[in-house]
Amino acid sequence: MDPQLIFLLLMMGLLFFMFSRTRKQQRAQLEMQNSLGPGAEVMTTSGLIGRIVAIEGEEMVLEIAPGVRTRWNRRAVARVTTSDAQLGGATPAGLDLGKRGPAAGSGDGSTHS
C-alpha cells in the first residue's frame, strides 16, 4: 500500500476522532445547562459562583451574596459546583466564606466575637 495513502487515512481518522470527541463534550455541556434548576450552585464561564434563584427561558437569576441577584444567560454556566449540603455544611479546609479580605475584620486573620 502507498505510504501517502496510509498517512492520509491516518490523518482523516485522527480528525474524525478529534471532532467526534469535541461534539460529545459540547452535547454534555448543553445537557448540563438544560438540566439546571433553582437551588443549584453553579460557576459561570467568568468564574462567578452563585446559586440559581429563578430560570426564565434562556435567562437565569443567580444570587451571588445574600440579597444580591444578577441575571445571566443559561449558556454562561461552565459547571455545577458542590453545594454546602453535599459538604455537610462545612467548607473545604475550614475556609470561612463569610469573610472577604481585611475589610471583613482587623486584617490579622484573627476572629473576634
For the chain, give every domain's residue range: 1-35, 37-89
Query: The domain 37-89 is classified under which CATH number: 3.30.160, 2.30.30, 1.10.10, 2.40.128?
Result: 2.30.30
Q: How far apart are CA 112 and CA 88, in angstroms?
A: 25
Question: What does pTM read for this prediction?
Answer: 0.56
> CA-CA distances (angstroms) from residue 54 to 3, 60, 71, 74, 101?
59, 6, 9, 11, 30
Q: How far apart are CA 50 and CA 18, in angstroms?
A: 33
pLDDT at 82: 65
In this prediction, residues 29-51 reach a mean pLDDT of: 91
pLDDT at 21: 87
Task: Report whether pLDDT(85) > 50.
Answer: no
In this prediction, residues 55-80 reach a mean pLDDT of: 92
